[in-house]
Amino acid sequence: MLFAAASAFSQESSSKTSESSARAPSETTSGVGPSATLKAVLSAACSQNQAEFGRFLTARSKEAFSRMTPQARIALMKRFVLLNEAGKATASANPAGRPIVRCQTPDVTTEMQIGGADLRDNVAFLPMELRDATDTTGSDAHQITLGLVREDGEWRLLSLGLLLLDLPALEVEWDAAEMETTERNAVEALNQVGKAIETYRSKYSRLPESLANLGQPLHGAANGEAAGLLDSDLANGIKNGYAIRYVIVGASTVGAPAKYELAATPQQYGRTGRRSFFRDSNGGLHAADRRGAVGSEADPKLE
Protein backbone atom coordinates (compact mmCIF):
# COMPACT_ATOMS: atom_id res chain seq x y z
CA MET A 1 0.00 0.00 0.00
CA LEU A 2 2.86 2.33 0.90
CA PHE A 3 4.63 1.87 -2.44
CA ALA A 4 1.35 2.28 -4.32
CA ALA A 5 0.73 5.51 -2.46
CA ALA A 6 4.30 6.62 -3.07
CA SER A 7 3.86 5.96 -6.77
CA ALA A 8 0.65 8.00 -6.78
CA PHE A 9 2.40 10.88 -5.02
CA SER A 10 5.27 10.61 -7.47
CA GLN A 11 2.97 10.80 -10.49
CA GLU A 12 1.09 13.76 -9.05
CA SER A 13 4.31 15.55 -8.22
CA SER A 14 5.70 14.82 -11.69
CA SER A 15 2.74 16.51 -13.34
CA LYS A 16 3.22 19.57 -11.14
CA THR A 17 6.97 19.83 -11.51
CA SER A 18 7.86 18.95 -15.09
CA GLU A 19 10.71 21.43 -15.05
CA SER A 20 12.28 20.10 -11.83
CA SER A 21 11.92 16.49 -13.04
CA ALA A 22 14.67 17.15 -15.56
CA ARG A 23 17.11 17.93 -12.76
CA ALA A 24 19.33 15.50 -10.89
CA PRO A 25 17.23 13.22 -8.62
CA SER A 26 18.44 14.79 -5.37
CA GLU A 27 18.22 18.39 -6.59
CA THR A 28 15.35 20.76 -5.89
CA THR A 29 14.55 24.26 -7.01
CA SER A 30 15.98 25.57 -3.75
CA GLY A 31 19.01 23.30 -3.90
CA VAL A 32 18.00 21.45 -0.72
CA GLY A 33 18.05 17.67 -1.09
CA PRO A 34 16.09 15.03 0.84
CA SER A 35 18.82 14.48 3.47
CA ALA A 36 19.01 18.18 4.34
CA THR A 37 15.21 18.36 4.41
CA LEU A 38 14.97 15.42 6.78
CA LYS A 39 17.59 17.03 9.02
CA ALA A 40 15.41 20.15 9.20
CA VAL A 41 12.32 18.01 9.91
CA LEU A 42 14.01 16.27 12.84
CA SER A 43 15.29 19.58 14.23
CA ALA A 44 11.76 21.03 14.13
CA ALA A 45 10.32 17.89 15.74
CA CYS A 46 12.98 18.04 18.47
CA SER A 47 12.13 21.62 19.44
CA GLN A 48 8.40 20.96 18.86
CA ASN A 49 8.30 23.96 16.52
CA GLN A 50 4.87 23.49 14.95
CA ALA A 51 5.20 26.22 12.32
CA GLU A 52 8.60 24.97 11.14
CA PHE A 53 7.49 21.33 11.10
CA GLY A 54 4.43 22.22 9.02
CA ARG A 55 6.67 23.63 6.28
CA PHE A 56 7.78 20.11 5.39
CA LEU A 57 4.33 18.57 4.96
CA THR A 58 2.59 18.08 1.65
CA ALA A 59 -0.09 20.65 0.83
CA ARG A 60 -2.85 18.19 1.70
CA SER A 61 -1.30 17.19 5.02
CA LYS A 62 -0.34 20.77 5.89
CA GLU A 63 -4.00 21.81 5.75
CA ALA A 64 -5.00 18.95 8.06
CA PHE A 65 -2.06 19.74 10.38
CA SER A 66 -3.33 23.31 10.76
CA ARG A 67 -6.73 21.98 11.90
CA MET A 68 -5.28 19.65 14.53
CA THR A 69 -5.11 20.74 18.16
CA PRO A 70 -1.71 21.92 19.40
CA GLN A 71 -1.53 18.81 21.57
CA ALA A 72 -2.14 16.53 18.57
CA ARG A 73 0.52 18.34 16.53
CA ILE A 74 3.05 17.88 19.33
CA ALA A 75 2.08 14.21 19.65
CA LEU A 76 2.84 13.76 15.94
CA MET A 77 6.24 15.43 16.23
CA LYS A 78 7.13 13.29 19.23
CA ARG A 79 6.93 10.22 17.00
CA PHE A 80 9.92 11.44 15.03
CA VAL A 81 12.30 11.87 17.97
CA LEU A 82 10.74 9.58 20.63
CA LEU A 83 10.99 12.26 23.32
CA ASN A 84 8.20 13.51 25.56
CA GLU A 85 9.41 17.09 25.94
CA ALA A 86 10.86 19.73 23.67
CA GLY A 87 14.63 19.76 23.31
CA LYS A 88 17.49 21.67 21.74
CA ALA A 89 18.57 20.39 18.32
CA THR A 90 22.15 20.46 17.03
CA ALA A 91 23.36 19.12 13.68
CA SER A 92 26.66 17.60 12.68
CA ALA A 93 27.98 14.87 10.38
CA ASN A 94 29.63 11.49 10.86
CA PRO A 95 33.04 10.64 9.29
CA ALA A 96 31.27 9.57 6.11
CA GLY A 97 29.55 12.95 5.85
CA ARG A 98 26.07 11.66 6.75
CA PRO A 99 23.90 14.11 8.76
CA ILE A 100 23.45 13.59 12.50
CA VAL A 101 20.82 15.42 14.57
CA ARG A 102 21.11 15.43 18.34
CA CYS A 103 18.08 16.36 20.45
CA GLN A 104 18.98 17.37 24.00
CA THR A 105 16.39 17.57 26.79
CA PRO A 106 17.02 17.98 30.55
CA ASP A 107 16.67 14.23 31.09
CA VAL A 108 17.96 12.53 27.95
CA THR A 109 19.65 13.23 24.63
CA THR A 110 18.86 11.25 21.50
CA GLU A 111 20.98 10.98 18.38
CA MET A 112 19.53 10.45 14.89
CA GLN A 113 21.87 9.39 12.09
CA ILE A 114 20.47 9.78 8.57
CA GLY A 115 21.61 7.31 5.92
CA GLY A 116 21.86 7.65 2.16
CA ALA A 117 18.71 8.31 0.14
CA ASP A 118 17.10 5.66 -2.05
CA LEU A 119 15.76 7.85 -4.87
CA ARG A 120 12.87 6.77 -7.09
CA ASP A 121 11.84 9.58 -9.42
CA ASN A 122 10.13 12.11 -7.14
CA VAL A 123 10.15 9.89 -4.05
CA ALA A 124 13.09 9.36 -1.66
CA PHE A 125 13.42 6.85 1.16
CA LEU A 126 16.03 7.51 3.84
CA PRO A 127 17.06 5.10 6.62
CA MET A 128 17.52 6.60 10.07
CA GLU A 129 19.05 5.17 13.23
CA LEU A 130 17.68 6.70 16.43
CA ARG A 131 19.33 5.95 19.76
CA ASP A 132 20.17 7.35 23.17
CA ALA A 133 23.34 9.41 22.85
CA THR A 134 24.90 7.41 25.71
CA ASP A 135 24.34 4.12 23.85
CA THR A 136 27.78 3.72 22.26
CA THR A 137 27.14 0.15 21.08
CA GLY A 138 23.79 0.85 19.42
CA SER A 139 22.24 -2.15 21.17
CA ASP A 140 18.95 -0.30 21.75
CA ALA A 141 18.92 1.68 18.51
CA HIS A 142 15.71 2.03 16.48
CA GLN A 143 15.95 1.58 12.72
CA ILE A 144 13.35 3.64 10.84
CA THR A 145 12.86 4.43 7.17
CA LEU A 146 11.32 7.80 6.33
CA GLY A 147 9.80 8.69 2.98
CA LEU A 148 9.80 12.07 1.27
CA VAL A 149 8.08 13.20 -1.91
CA ARG A 150 9.01 16.11 -4.16
CA GLU A 151 6.11 18.52 -4.44
CA ASP A 152 6.44 21.78 -6.37
CA GLY A 153 10.20 21.35 -6.40
CA GLU A 154 10.55 20.87 -2.64
CA TRP A 155 10.92 17.71 -0.58
CA ARG A 156 7.99 16.97 1.73
CA LEU A 157 7.28 14.24 4.30
CA LEU A 158 5.54 11.18 2.90
CA SER A 159 5.88 8.43 5.52
CA LEU A 160 7.30 7.52 8.91
CA GLY A 161 8.20 3.86 8.84
CA LEU A 162 5.10 2.10 7.54
CA LEU A 163 2.85 5.01 8.51
CA LEU A 164 1.84 7.00 5.45
CA LEU A 165 1.47 10.61 6.58
CA ASP A 166 -1.97 11.09 5.09
CA LEU A 167 -3.07 13.43 7.87
CA PRO A 168 -6.60 14.09 6.52
CA ALA A 169 -7.30 10.36 6.82
CA LEU A 170 -5.67 10.09 10.25
CA GLU A 171 -6.94 13.24 11.94
CA VAL A 172 -10.39 11.82 12.77
CA GLU A 173 -8.83 8.85 14.55
CA TRP A 174 -6.32 11.08 16.34
CA ASP A 175 -9.01 13.56 17.36
CA ALA A 176 -11.00 10.76 18.99
CA ALA A 177 -7.97 9.61 20.99
CA GLU A 178 -7.07 13.21 21.82
CA MET A 179 -10.57 13.99 23.09
CA GLU A 180 -10.27 11.40 25.85
CA THR A 181 -7.27 13.31 27.18
CA THR A 182 -8.71 16.80 26.76
CA GLU A 183 -11.98 15.83 28.45
CA ARG A 184 -10.10 14.32 31.37
CA ASN A 185 -7.95 17.45 31.59
CA ALA A 186 -11.08 19.63 31.56
CA VAL A 187 -12.38 17.90 34.70
CA GLU A 188 -8.98 18.33 36.35
CA ALA A 189 -9.04 22.01 35.37
CA LEU A 190 -12.43 22.54 37.03
CA ASN A 191 -11.18 20.89 40.21
CA GLN A 192 -8.03 23.00 40.12
CA VAL A 193 -10.00 26.22 39.66
CA GLY A 194 -12.41 25.24 42.44
CA LYS A 195 -9.51 24.62 44.81
CA ALA A 196 -7.95 27.98 43.89
CA ILE A 197 -11.25 29.79 44.54
CA GLU A 198 -11.55 28.20 47.97
CA THR A 199 -7.96 29.17 48.78
CA TYR A 200 -8.70 32.73 47.68
CA ARG A 201 -11.91 32.82 49.76
CA SER A 202 -10.04 31.57 52.82
CA LYS A 203 -7.35 34.22 52.47
CA TYR A 204 -9.43 37.25 51.45
CA SER A 205 -12.83 36.35 53.03
CA ARG A 206 -14.63 36.78 49.70
CA LEU A 207 -14.91 35.25 46.24
CA PRO A 208 -12.70 36.53 43.41
CA GLU A 209 -14.52 38.75 40.94
CA SER A 210 -13.09 36.80 38.00
CA LEU A 211 -10.58 34.08 37.15
CA ALA A 212 -8.08 36.83 36.40
CA ASN A 213 -7.88 37.54 40.14
CA LEU A 214 -6.44 34.04 40.58
CA GLY A 215 -3.60 34.56 38.07
CA GLN A 216 0.04 35.41 38.60
CA PRO A 217 0.99 39.00 39.55
CA LEU A 218 2.94 40.90 36.92
CA HIS A 219 5.08 42.57 39.57
CA GLY A 220 5.62 42.13 43.28
CA ALA A 221 3.90 39.80 45.72
CA ALA A 222 0.55 38.05 45.28
CA ASN A 223 -2.50 40.10 46.25
CA GLY A 224 -6.26 40.22 45.92
CA GLU A 225 -6.04 41.37 42.29
CA ALA A 226 -3.58 38.63 41.28
CA ALA A 227 -3.40 35.93 43.92
CA GLY A 228 -0.90 33.69 42.11
CA LEU A 229 -3.09 30.59 42.40
CA LEU A 230 -3.51 29.63 38.72
CA ASP A 231 -1.34 29.57 35.61
CA SER A 232 -1.93 32.12 32.87
CA ASP A 233 -4.07 29.80 30.71
CA LEU A 234 -6.58 29.02 33.45
CA ALA A 235 -6.60 32.64 34.63
CA ASN A 236 -7.63 33.54 31.05
CA GLY A 237 -10.35 30.87 31.05
CA ILE A 238 -8.70 28.48 28.57
CA LYS A 239 -7.10 25.08 29.11
CA ASN A 240 -6.17 22.39 26.55
CA GLY A 241 -9.00 23.03 24.12
CA TYR A 242 -11.67 23.87 26.71
CA ALA A 243 -13.11 27.25 27.72
CA ILE A 244 -13.55 27.67 31.48
CA ARG A 245 -16.39 29.86 32.76
CA TYR A 246 -16.77 31.14 36.33
CA VAL A 247 -20.08 32.61 37.55
CA ILE A 248 -20.92 33.96 41.01
CA VAL A 249 -24.36 32.79 42.14
CA GLY A 250 -26.38 35.36 44.10
CA ALA A 251 -25.70 38.96 45.04
CA SER A 252 -23.10 38.42 47.75
CA THR A 253 -19.45 37.45 47.28
CA VAL A 254 -18.52 37.69 50.96
CA GLY A 255 -17.80 34.83 53.33
CA ALA A 256 -18.46 31.11 53.31
CA PRO A 257 -22.15 31.30 52.20
CA ALA A 258 -21.22 32.94 48.86
CA LYS A 259 -21.60 30.47 46.01
CA TYR A 260 -20.33 30.07 42.46
CA GLU A 261 -20.56 27.76 39.46
CA LEU A 262 -17.91 26.59 36.99
CA ALA A 263 -18.27 25.26 33.47
CA ALA A 264 -15.85 23.75 30.94
CA THR A 265 -16.97 23.78 27.30
CA PRO A 266 -15.06 22.43 24.26
CA GLN A 267 -13.65 25.24 22.13
CA GLN A 268 -14.05 23.11 19.00
CA TYR A 269 -16.90 20.67 19.46
CA GLY A 270 -16.00 17.25 18.08
CA ARG A 271 -12.29 18.06 17.93
CA THR A 272 -11.14 19.23 21.37
CA GLY A 273 -13.99 17.47 23.15
CA ARG A 274 -17.63 16.39 22.99
CA ARG A 275 -18.83 16.62 26.56
CA SER A 276 -19.54 19.85 28.45
CA PHE A 277 -18.71 19.80 32.16
CA PHE A 278 -20.43 21.71 34.93
CA ARG A 279 -19.56 22.20 38.61
CA ASP A 280 -22.64 23.23 40.56
CA SER A 281 -22.75 25.60 43.54
CA ASN A 282 -22.44 22.64 45.94
CA GLY A 283 -19.32 21.30 44.24
CA GLY A 284 -21.02 18.48 42.33
CA LEU A 285 -19.71 17.67 38.84
CA HIS A 286 -21.99 17.06 35.86
CA ALA A 287 -21.25 16.02 32.26
CA ALA A 288 -23.24 15.72 29.04
CA ASP A 289 -22.84 16.00 25.28
CA ARG A 290 -24.30 19.45 24.73
CA ARG A 291 -22.96 19.79 21.17
CA GLY A 292 -20.71 22.61 22.34
CA ALA A 293 -23.21 24.42 24.58
CA VAL A 294 -22.61 25.18 28.26
CA GLY A 295 -23.65 22.43 30.69
CA SER A 296 -25.94 22.73 33.70
CA GLU A 297 -26.75 21.04 36.99
CA ALA A 298 -29.56 19.21 35.18
CA ASP A 299 -26.94 17.15 33.35
CA PRO A 300 -26.08 13.67 34.71
CA LYS A 301 -23.71 13.54 37.66
CA LEU A 302 -20.12 12.69 36.70
CA GLU A 303 -19.05 9.47 38.37
Amino acid letter, residue 267: Q
Chain segment 274-286, per-residue pLDDT in tens: 999 999 999 999 9
Position 303 scores a pLDDT of 77
CA distance 101 to 81: 10
Arithmetic mean of pLDDT over the chain:
85
Chain segment 107-136, per-residue pLDDT in tens: 899 999 999 999 988 999 999 999 998 887
Residues 77 and 48: beta-carbon distance below 8 Å: yes
What confidence tier does 174 reach under pLDDT thresholds 50, 70, 90? low
Least confident span in 81-95, 119-133, 160-174: 160-174
Chain segment 130-162, per-residue pLDDT in tens: 999 888 777 788 899 999 999 999 999 998 876
Chain segment 191-244, per-residue pLDDT in tens: 999 999 999 999 999 999 999 999 999 999 999 999 999 999 999 999 988 999
Position 7 scores a pLDDT of 41
Share of the chain above pLDDT 70, in %: 85
CA dihedral over 38, 44, 48, 51, signed as positive or negative: negative
Task: List strand residue ranges (DSSP E) for 153-274, in order.
Answer: 154-160, 163-164, 238-239, 242-249, 259-266
Residues 73 and 47: beta-carbon distance below 8 Å: no
When computed from its CA atoms, the radius of gyration of the chain, rounded to whole angstroms, is: 25
Q: Which residue has the higher pLDDT, 131 or 30?
A: 131
Average the pLDDT over 178-201 and give the result. 93
Most confident of 45-54, 55-64, 79-88: 45-54
